Amino acid sequence: MKKSRLLTLMAALMLVAAMAFAVGCGGDDDSSSGSSDDISSELITDGTLTVGSDIPFPPFEFGKPPAYDGFDIDMINEIANRLELDVDIQDTSFDTIFTDVAQGKFDVVASASTITPEREKTVSFSSPYYEAEQALLVPTGSDIKTVEDLDGKTVGAQDGTTGEAYANDETNAASVRGLPNGPAAISALQAGQVDATIIDQPVAQDAIDKGQSGFELATTIPTGELYGLAFAQNTPAILEAVNGALDDMKDDGALNDIYQKWFKIDAPESVLKKTGSAAPDEESS
């Protein structure tokens, strides 16, 4: 009888120990920020990160579906891989992209998007991942050298971008012509439809590096812009998970590797900080 009671007691103790172990393991899983389980209730499609992007906008995003390529594409694919999620990239107009993500059409926007106070009224942003300036492109041999020379001119820019906002707010251009995407803004300049184009500097430089002709870089425009990934304001778990993966990429050098691949430079200190979004005081794509 004593032996029976001893066996019963030992069995009970083993059961308690097993339960404690299971709870401990479960606690580790729950605390793992960035796992797909943490954000599944907020994802549009379980197991998939649905990404909105305005394509083409080389070198950040370009190509034909499903073989998209570019800086943003590499970055969002790496983030999704770390979250153990598939990626569904959907091409959409930049002019409506923030409204679209706010309305739940995408989980995240990865589209060379500048963090601005105005946009933060509609969406939430990740910590910064790219620092950019604007560029003033003009026809080869043009007398236009600075933004002051735009007085009375027709200026092209992509619809909904900070380049368009700058042309409207910071120059005395006679008119600002909005174009559907970055390449179209450059094409309008090449075709003589506008006197100058204001566009993100890395996009302008990419076109020059690829040998496009008929225009030149008159000057860069320092605007202190920082790009961020954009999210609906009611999806905090997705934002936290993506931000966590992005911060890990800053720590372990993965983001720097993507910088080196596309721009042959190291990621600057302004984007390596991990303090959430960082909208400039004034609006500066």
Q: What is the pLDDT of residue 142?
A: 96
Look at residue 182 in the predicted model and tell me its pLDDT.
87
Give Cβ neighbours of residue 245 (< 8 Å, ≥ 6 apart): 34, 78, 79, 82, 83
Residues of the chain with pLDDT under 70: 1-37, 274-285
pLDDT of the residue at 30: 38
Q: The whole model's pTM is what?
A: 0.77
Q: Are 97 and 122 in contact (CB under 8 A)?
A: no
Residues with Cβ < 8 Å from 285, sequence gap 6 or more? 57, 94, 111, 112, 113, 114, 158, 160, 161, 162, 163, 182, 199, 200
Domains 36-129+228-272 and 132-224 alike in fold: yes
Give the model's pLDDT for residue 25: 43
Mention every residue, 6+ apart, whose C-beta is less than 8 A from residue 189. Answer: 137, 138, 139, 156, 196, 197, 214, 215
136-195: pLDDT as tens digits: 999 999 999 999 999 999 999 999 899 999 999 999 999 999 999 888 999 999 999 999
pLDDT for position 181:
87
Distance CA 55, CA 208 (A): 19
Residue 281 corresponds to which amino acid? D
Angle at 199 between CA 261 and CA 143, to 5 degrees: 120
**Domain boundary assignment for the chain:** 36-129+228-272, 132-224
Which of 4, 10, 53 minimizes the C-alpha distance to 182? 53
pLDDT of residue 270: 87
Q: What is the pLDDT of residue 35?
A: 52
Fold of 132-224: D-Maltodextrin-Binding Protein; domain 2 (3.40.190)
What homologous superfamily does CATH list for 36-129+228-272?
Periplasmic binding protein-like II (3.40.190.10)
